[in-house]
Amino acid sequence: MDDFWTEKQQEDIAYFNENLETWSQNPLYKLKFVIISGRELKGIYDTFEAALGAAVVAYGSGEYIIQQILPEDETVNFLSPALALV
């Protein structure tokens, strides 16, 4: 990864990638959005908006990642600081 991500975010993305194959095979996780913070799965949501709302309440402007459980070649990353611009 590049210098755009903090060390904590890089660790959380690594955790996501380590678990992606297992999660994507679980019909309860597939296509859902997950919140990861501190290399822990914190929540699973049907929509990005629901995941973001829960993350903002739980972590405010703290560090977390939200990822959708998709095949690896389709994964999109979102940064919480970038979302503050919306």
Encode pLDDT of 24-64 as tens digits. 999 999 999 999 999 999 999 999 999 999 999 998 888 89
Structural domain boundaries in the chain: 7-83
Burial class from Cβ neighbours inside 10 Å (0-12, 13-18, 19+) for residue 31 reads exposed
Cβ atoms of residues 80 and 64 within 8 Å: yes
Burial class from Cβ neighbours inside 10 Å (0-12, 13-18, 19+) for residue 78 reads middle
User: Bridge-partner residues for 68, per DSSP?
Assistant: 33
pLDDT of residue 85: 47
How far does Cα 59 stand from its chain's mean position? 13
